[in-house]
Amino acid sequence: MIRLAFSALLLLTLCASGPAALGQRSGAAAASRTQRNPSFTLTFGLAEPLSHESFTEFWLRGPVGSVSFTVDVRRSVAIGAGIDASVYYFNQTTFLEKFPNVPMHQTDIGVIDLYLMTKFMLRPRMVVSPYLTATLGASHTTGASYKIEEPLPRKIYYDIPRSTRLALGLVLGTDIVISRWLALVVEAKVSYIHNDPNIGLLAFLRGGCRLRL
């Protein structure tokens, strides 16, 4: 599954970059494609857990921050890498309602995603420029566990193990260009953590800015 996912993203990038990436054209057109136009993007927003009751029952939405770096390989295509960091707050009210006579151990959970990305700009060089981004990488969950081993029988109130797994993401966003080097960014992302029985799907809604060098 991991090999197939990486192969698909690589093939998508190569197909999108086309002759420009292979240097099959010359003259002024080829020279323009060598202008890589690197950019940095910084966003903040909210993260929402979407699936698996073992996670959504005791953890609520929380903040998310993202930093990414991209380089244009074509007028409408860019590739790069990024990191998302999100925190999910422990739901004290739900825990106390379900276990009223149990001492509460509050533990927030963090999720960190490192990924490669391919960005497709649907209306490049426009003032309002929507885009679609595919991401592929690894997601690390800090985990949280509350167990009572003795006296028997053993009690497990929640158990989200620390783990690192393959993660796939899809982003739909819009750049609002302010100047040649600055744009405002609004985007929504869905992240799928592969083969994770506890977290599964996460949704991000965030905004920020993009700096073009």
In whole angstroms, what is the distance from residue 209 CA to residue 186 CA? 8
Q: Is the pTM of this model over 0.75?
A: yes
Phi, psi at 4, each rounded to 5°: -65, -45
Tokens of residue 37, six digits: 């136009």
Average pLDDT over residues 147-161: 81
**Location of structure tokens 């190569």:** 14
With bands split at pLDDT 50, 70 and 90, how would you rate the model's confidence at 13?
very low
What domains appear along the chain, each with residue ranges and CATH number? 2-13+36-212 (2.40.160.20)
pLDDT at 150: 65
In whole angstroms, what is the distance from residue 34 CA to residue 23 CA? 9
Q: Are 128 and 98 in contact (CB under 8 A)?
A: no
Beta strands in 142-200 (DSSP E): 144-148, 155-160, 163-177, 182-193
Residue 134 has pLDDT above 70, yes or no: yes
In whole angstroms, what is the distance from residue 115 CA to residue 166 CA? 10
**Which tens digits make up the pLDDT trace of 49-92?**
998 888 999 999 999 999 999 999 998 999 999 999 999 999 99
Amino acid at 167: A
